[in-house]
């Protein structure tokens, strides 16, 4: 069932994190990794997406009845399959702050930007990161006792010191059916999306018949944008999956919600397409429901300005 698979996925992430802490071959006190993965449920035409951190999974879906756009973009529409776990999200900010963590940008830490006393207000700090990230200076998680660890994400594997501030390894998970309209799944690290929107990535992938060539094109475009706007590049890693041969008759279930500890992924169910209407069926094999469309609320904004260092 969905619950069994999600429990197994959660346990795998948690045990991996513990193994990193116990290992004598690495020091994960101030180092770690994000993780984004997709599990295919065999012939059941379902997938489970697991996300820890700010890497991302997106879906390119064919929208029936829509003509191909005249602006050269693909006929596929991009939908998120995960939500970035960063201090941009109000719920994640509140969670890490509850441990005593501070949420500030580097410029605020260094005294170059003011710290708004109302930043702790729920509505007041909703704009925090979006205002400061134009120069590539996102909100980060800091200890109340010093200028560390400074993670720009709120969940990860490893990062033992940050874990004391709520940066833990438990994934948010989404289980959903794969439909005949689903054509492309992309899993990628945050560096891919620094200057590219979800839709831009899907549009590039849709131009190719070979997923490896699609990966190469997206990575090359992202790398070019990093060099154009920055003095460095971030991690640019990507997996592209092309989907075909899915039959409608083998689908079971529709969309509801799921998450992990503290789980509230705030799924959106107001899309006009009928595929995204929430229901709560049980199929003939006794499985439970699958998950709702992931909202884009709290998404880390795409950079569209030259950084302060380069300008």
- pLDDT tens per residue across span 161-214: 999 999 999 999 999 999 999 999 999 999 999 999 999 999 999 999 999 999
Q: What pTM does this model have?
A: 0.79
Which stretches of the chain score pLDDT less than 50? 124-132, 249-286, 307-311
- What is the structure's pLDDT at 44? 83
**pLDDT tens per residue across span 109-146:** 999 888 876 555 555 444 443 443 556 789 999 999 99
| DSSP reduced 3-state for 249 | helix
Cα of 111 vs its chain's centroid, Å: 30
Q: What is the token pair recorded at 229? A: 């706007």
User: Among 297, 292, 290, which residue's Cα sits nearest to residue 277?
Assistant: 292
| CA–CA gap between residue 264 and residue 266 (Å, rounded) | 5
E-strand ranges in 41-188 read 46-52, 56-62, 76-80, 102-104, 140-142, 149-151, 157-158, 172-177, 182-188
Residue with tokens 């599990």: 39
E-strand ranges in 159-267 read 172-177, 182-188, 238-242, 255-256
| CA–CA gap between residue 311 and residue 307 (Å, rounded) | 6
- What is the structure's pLDDT at 283? 46
Burial letters for 62-78: b for 16+ Cβ neighbours within 10 Å, e otherwise? Answer: beeeeeeeeeeebebbb
| Beta-strand relationship, 182-188 and 238-242 | antiparallel
- What is the structure's pLDDT at 137? 85
Q: Which residues contact 17 (CB under 8 A, 6 or more apart)?
A: 157, 158, 163, 168, 169
- What is the structure's pLDDT at 308? 43
């Amino acid at each position: 069932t969905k619950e069994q698979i999600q429990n197994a996925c959660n346990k795998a992430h948690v045990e991996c994190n513990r193994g990193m802490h116990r290992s004598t071959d690495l020091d994960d006190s101030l180092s770690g990794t994000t993780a984004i993965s997709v599990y295919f449920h065999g012939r059941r035409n379902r997938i489970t997406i697991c996300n820890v951190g700010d890497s991302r999974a997106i879906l390119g879906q064919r929208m029936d009845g829509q003509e191909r756009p005249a602006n050269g973009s693909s006929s596929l529409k991009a939908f998120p399959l995960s939500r970035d776990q960063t201090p941009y999200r109000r719920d994640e900010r509140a969670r890490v702050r509850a441990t005593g963590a501070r949420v500030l940008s580097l410029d605020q830490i260094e005294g170059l930007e003011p710290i708004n006393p109302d930043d702790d207000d729920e509505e007041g700090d909703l704009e925090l990161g979006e205002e400061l990230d134009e120069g590539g200076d996102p909100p980060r998680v800091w200890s109340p006792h010093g200028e560390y660890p400074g993670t720009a994400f709120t969940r990860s594997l490893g990062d033992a010191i940050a874990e004391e501030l709520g940066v833990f390894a438990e994934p948010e998970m989404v289980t959903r059916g794969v439909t005949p309209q689903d054509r492309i799944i992309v899993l990628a690290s945050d560096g891919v999306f620094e200057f590219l929107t979800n839709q831009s990535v899907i549009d590039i992938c849709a131009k190719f018949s070979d997923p490896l060539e699609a990966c190469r094109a997206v990575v090359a475009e992202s790398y070019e944008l990093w060099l154009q706007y920055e003095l460095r590049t971030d991690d640019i890693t990507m997996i592209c999956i092309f989907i075909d041969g899915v039959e409608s008759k083998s689908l079971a279930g529709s969309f509801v919600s799921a998450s992990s500890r503290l789980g509230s992924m705030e799924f959106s169910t107001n899309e006009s397409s009928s595929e995204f209407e929430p229901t709560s069926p049980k199929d003939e094999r006794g499985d439970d429901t699958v998950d709702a469309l992931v909202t884009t609320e709290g998404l880390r904004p795409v950079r569209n300005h030259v950084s302060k260092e380069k300008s």
